[in-house]
Amino acid sequence: MEKIKVLVADDEEEIRKLFISLSKVYPEIEVVGVAKNGEEAVKLNKILNPDVILMDLHMPGTNGIEAIQKIMTSHPKPIIVISGFLDKTKLYSRLKSLLVGAIDVVEKPFSIETIAKKIKLFSEIKISKSFPQNKTNKKFKIVAIGASTGGPEVIRKILQPLPANFPLYIVIAQHISKGDFDKLLVDYLRNNLNLKVELAKEGKRLKKGIVYLAPAERHLEIGSKGEFILKNDYQYFPTPSIDLLFQSVAKIFGEKTIGILLTGMGEDGVKGLKAIKEAGGYTIAQDKNSCVVFGMPKRAIELGIVDKVLPPVQISRMLLNYSKINEY
């Protein structure tokens, strides 16, 4: 069996020795390189091509966060952050910073068993490059998201790290039950996001800094002036229709659109994502491992209309790269 290659980046000698000893207990894991700072980690990553990187945040010279950014825009790898500076009260903001590339974070002290399990898990994940920092929101104007089963929690994970002044419009079609569930979803997201959250209302126009959700039992389209158009078109099911929203966004915003298709059964959203792709927009599908139901994304991937297949944390990181917000 081929061994899992691990690169260690930590300025503490004891920690480095501990990780090097991993292979004695877990022969399937091999530490192929050791870096004492971020700059060395970036260089060794290119040379050694590891399967997983264990990265300390606080190192002399180029720190962990800077190294993560460089790695993820050149030779991306699954990066597990190992740090002893994670104040529990500031964990949220710290994790938001780590979304520039880290796939997980482990606080010191830790068990070697925990590290080994994470190495094995993340070694199977294929990481895509970050959007280069010079490709900013000059190109994109809107993010359109479609989701079904399991969607609310994934939407939270993707949007939670975004700042209140995120510069792109955000619209969402989430399949939802009748009743007040759409209002409950709005309340849930409001309590967990920096951005404002509202149900789309007929005739109102898109504004930045607000996440707009299609209301239950209504289909949402975007008009030529950025206004909301609500429809009761029962030939489209389920509601709200992801296809209708995506197609209208593609028609109005074209190549300035980022389309994201998340967890859910069936094929709703596939035609819409294709429309975004054909209009020159950028298309993303949620990966199988993080989906509750790998239906809609799977079909889009099979049709070859997806630019990137990513877990929620990576989707969030890509969106952050477009916000021009540097919080670390």
| 160 lies in the same domain as 290 | yes
Find the mean pLDDT for residues 71-96.
Answer: 65
| 40 lies in the same domain as 77 | yes
| 110 lies in the same domain as 163 | no
In this structure, is residue 311 part of a structural domain? yes
| 72 lies in the same domain as 200 | no
| 46 lies in the same domain as 163 | no
**Active-site residue (options: 148, 241, 290, 316):** 148
The C-alpha torsion from 320 through 310 and 265 to 258, rounded to 10°, is 40
94, 122, 150 - which closes a domain: 122
| 20 lies in the same domain as 116 | yes
| 81 lies in the same domain as 160 | no
What are the pLDDT digits (tens) for 207-253? 999 999 999 889 999 999 999 999 987 666 688 999 999 999 999 99
In this structure, is residue 49 part of a structural domain? yes
Percent of the chain with pLDDT over 70: 85
What are the pLDDT digits (tens) for 7-57? 999 998 988 999 999 888 999 999 999 999 999 999 999 999 999 999 888
Is residue 72 scored above 50 in pLDDT? yes
CATH number at residue 88: 3.40.50.2300
The domain tally of the chain equals 2
In three-state secondary structure terms, 300 is helix
The C-alpha torsion from 133 through 78 and 57 to 59, rounded to 10°, is -90
**Known catalytic residue at 307:** no
In this structure, is residue 327 part of a structural domain? no
Is residue 75 scored above 90 in pLDDT? no
Bridge partners, 262 (sequence order):
none
122, 150, 170 - which closes a domain: 122
In this structure, is residue 39 part of a structural domain? yes
Mean pLDDT for the chain?
86
Label residue 126 by pLDDT band (50, 70, 90).
low
Query: Contact 178/212 with Cβ under 8 angstroms?
Result: no
CATH number at residue 235: 3.40.50.180
| 234 lies in the same domain as 85 | no
More confident residue, 226 or 323: 226
For residues 282 and 260, what is the distance between their CA atoms, to the nearest angstrom? 9
| 230 lies in the same domain as 307 | yes
Instruction: Give the pLDDT of residue 293.
Output: 87
What one-character DSSP code corresponds to residue 194? S
| 155 lies in the same domain as 184 | yes
For residues 248 and 219, what is the distance between their CA atoms, to the nearest angstrom? 11
Label residue 130 by pLDDT band (50, 70, 90).
low
In this structure, is residue 231 part of a structural domain? yes
In this structure, is residue 129 part of a structural domain? no
**Known catalytic residue at 148:** yes
Question: b vs e for 234-268, b when ≥16 Cβ sit within 10 Å of the residue's Cβ?
Answer: eeeebbbbbbbbbbbbbbbbeebbbbbbbbbbbeb
Is residue 327 scored above 50 in pLDDT? no
**Active-site residue (options: 268, 287, 290, 316):** 268
| 147 lies in the same domain as 111 | no
In this structure, is residue 209 part of a structural domain? yes
Find the mean pLDDT for residues 73-100.
Answer: 62
Domain range for 274: 142-321
| 26 lies in the same domain as 78 | yes
In this structure, is residue 18 part of a structural domain? yes
What are the pLDDT digits (tens) for 277-322? 999 999 999 999 999 889 999 999 999 999 999 999 999 988 988 7
Is residue 100 scored above 80 in pLDDT? no
122, 155, 179 - which closes a domain: 122
More confident residue, 89 or 216: 216
More confident residue, 57 or 190: 190
Q: Please enumerate in sequence order all residues whose Cβ is within 8 A of that of 59, keeping only pairs 6 or more positions apart, or say none.
A: 9, 10, 11, 36, 37, 38
